[in-house]
Each structure stands twice: as structure tokens, then as C-alpha cells.
């Protein structure tokens, strides 16, 4: 029996082999872990040329048509989650590559979003760093969020969860998305607003829409210009949903009070990116979904899928 080669990509935490039963596959699959991102598509093509199976972590490594063309041995591509905008599904289908996904038990992004809001308004991490650095006492006067208005862009499963958390903190909540209706807002117990109203009225705006061609650049310079100078923007959805250059300029010119950003158009965020130099921007390295609980589920279900597929069975969660 010819042994299969499996590549686990972008295991930044060096955790994949410790949270799932990979030895279950050892009689037929050789597993290689890549802990660092590829420098380019060409580097990915060279490194993965001899692999039959690839396990991708979210959109960390893109799989466009050109990369599929460079991987003639690839037969199975698994991704964490049940959608991945960086995979060319038509190209995969044309080359006979099966695509499978994994599920979540919970969504940890909403609590992280509230954490970013609390950091922006109360400076917890900032003051912690100052205390550890030997500074004598506080210098940051916080903002109370009770009674403030949270504007939610996208009132789906995650946006609705975020709205519930905000209401528990005593915030008023309004929402907008391209297809959102006043009736849906009423069902969720939040106020409906037009896009223009939301950006003009909200004290804090949080983004929870799925990245697609329709949502790419959804939040642009004109939207940021409507925000109050005391308002904050939080993005834990996807980087390209916000015009990053427009956000950079708004923050540099202090047109808004600040932002909390967990996602970026290019990830990992380049070390020389101007975002890293701003004192009114809280940055986290795409932590929204990254919990040990979630990774245990993702990698565990990848093992399950490889086990079934390598024995000639159906993928438990087939995407294409």
C-alpha cells in the first residue's frame, strides 16, 4: 500500500499534533507540520508538491487556481471551518480535489470583541504594561460603556451574540447590513439603522459580516468620516471588509478615537506595517477563533475526515 503524505499548514501554536489522534493514521499516512507561513505562492507550491493531503487553517494560506495547478498530487484539502474564501472551489473541482471542512462547538469571537471594546475604553492592557514597567500609577481615564450605543454591522449568528453581550453591559444596540430588515432587528431586540445612521450615531462600531465580493471594502472612507471623533471601530471579521488605508488615515489624523483590529488584509501583519506605530489602535494577531478548545475540534475532525477518506469512505463534512 502506497503511503499518503499529509501537510498541516500554519500551525503557529505548534499545537496540532498534541490535540488530535494523528497516530490513528500512522499505518497509512505520514504527517508533516509547517509552523510558519509560506513567503509566497511559489514557496507553497515548492513545499507542498509531493503531498496528497493538505490541512489548512482558515485562510492563512490561499489556494487559488494557480496553486492547484502546481500541486498535481493533491487529492484532499481540508480547512478549518465550513467556508474558506481563499480556496478556489471551481479549480479544486476541476482538478478532482475533494474539499472538506470542520465545525465549531461555540464561537469565541464575540467575547474577544468585547475584550477589544474594554481595552479601548478602559486601557486594561495598556495600564498593565505600565505597571509592569515600573510606572508609579494610572494615567488613563477610561470611558464608561453603559449607556453608550453599539453599532453592529451584520446581525447574523455572531452579530446577534455580540448584541446580547453588549446589552448585558447596559449598552444600547443598533444594527445594519445590506439585507437586514427592521423586522429582523425587532426580533433580536435591537434598533434598526441605515448604514449612514449607524456610523453617525454609534459610539462603538463592531463588524460581523462574512467576507465576500459584496462585503470587500464595505466600510470605506465615507463611512469612517461619518463617525464621531469620540467613536471606536472594532473589526474581528475579516481585514478586507474595511478599507485599511482609509482607517490608517482616520487614526493618524485622530478623526476617530481609536480602533481594535484582530484581522488584516495581509496576515501575519508585516512587522513594518504603519498600524504597529499607532497608539490609538489595539492590535491582536487574529485571535478571534484561536482557542485550544476550537483547535482541538478542528484538528480532531481533520483526523476523522482523513481516516474516512483514506479508507474509501465519504468525507463527513464535504464542501466540494
Active-site residue set: 238, 267, 286
Quickly list DSSP for 260-310: EE---SSSSPPTT-GGGG-TTEEE-SS-TT--HHHHHHHHHHHHHHHHHHH
CA 180/CA 187 separation, integer angstroms: 12
DSSP state of 62: -
Nearest to 234 by CA among 166, 298, 183, 182: 166
Which element (helix H / strand E) includes 93?
helix 89-94
Count how many residues are written for the chain.
320
Q: Which residues partner with 207 through β-bridges? A: 153, 235
For residues 77-86, b (16+ Cβ closer than 10 Å) or e, as one string? bbbbbeebbe
Q: Which of 204, 209, 210 is nearest to 151 (CA)?
A: 204
Q: Rounded distance, CA 166 to CA 146, Å?
A: 9
Amino acid at each position: 500500500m502506497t503511503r499518503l503524505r499529509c501537510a498541516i499548514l500554519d500551525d503557529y501554536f505548534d499545537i496540532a499534533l498534541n490535540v488530535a489522534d494523528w497516530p490513528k493514521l500512522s499505518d497509512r499516512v505520514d504527517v508533516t507540520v509547517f509552523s510558519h507561513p509560506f513567503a509566497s505562492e511559489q514557496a507553497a507550491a515548492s513545499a507542498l508538491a509531493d503531498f496528497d493531503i493538505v490541512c489548512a487553517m482558515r485562510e492563512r494560506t490561499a489556494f487559488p487556481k494557480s496553486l492547484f495547478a502546481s500541486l498535481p498530487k493533491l487529492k484532499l484539502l481540508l480547512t478549518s471551518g465550513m467556508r474558506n474564501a481563499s480556496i478556489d472551489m471551481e479549480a479544486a473541482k476541476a482538478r478532482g480535489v475533494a474539499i472538506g471542512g470542520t465545525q465549531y462547538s461555540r464561537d469565541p469571537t464575540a467575547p474577544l470583541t468585547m475584550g477589544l471594546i474594554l481595552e479601548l475604553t478602559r486601557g486594561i492592557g495598556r495600564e498593565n504594561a505600565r505597571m509592569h514597567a515600573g510606572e508609579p500609577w494610572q494615567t488613563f481615564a477610561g470611558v464608561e460603556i453603559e449607556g453608550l450605543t453599539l453599532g453592529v454591522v451584520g446581525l447574523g449568528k455572531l452579530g446577534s451574540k455580540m448584541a446580547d453581550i453588549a446589552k448585558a453591559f447596559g449598552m444600547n444596540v443598533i444594527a445594519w447590513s445590506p439585507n437586514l430588515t427592521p423586522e429582523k432587528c425587532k426580533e433580536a431586540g435591537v434598533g434598526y439603522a441605515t448604514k449612514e445612521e449607524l456610523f453617525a450615531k454609534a459610539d462603538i462600531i463592531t463588524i460581523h459580516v462574512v467576507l465576500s465580493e459584496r462585503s470587500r471594502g464595505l466600510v470605506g472612507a465615507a463611512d469612517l468620516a461619518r463617525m464621531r471623533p469620540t467613536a471606536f471601530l472594532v473589526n474581528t471579521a475579516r481585514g478586507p471588509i474595511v478599507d485599511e488605508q482609509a482607517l490608517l488615515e482616520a487614526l493618524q489624523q485622530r478623526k476617530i478615537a481609536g480602533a481594535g483590529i484582530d484581522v488584516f488584509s495581509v496576515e501575519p501583519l508585516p512587522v513594518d506595517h504603519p498600524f504597529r506605530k499607532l497608539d490609538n489602535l489595539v492590535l491582536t494577531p487574529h485571535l478571534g477563533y484561536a482557542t485550544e478548545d476550537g483547535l482541538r475540534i478542528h484538528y480532531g475532525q481533520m483526523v476523522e475526515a482523513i481516516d474516512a477518506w483514506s479508507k474509501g469512505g465519504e468525507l463527513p463534512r464535504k464542501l466540494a
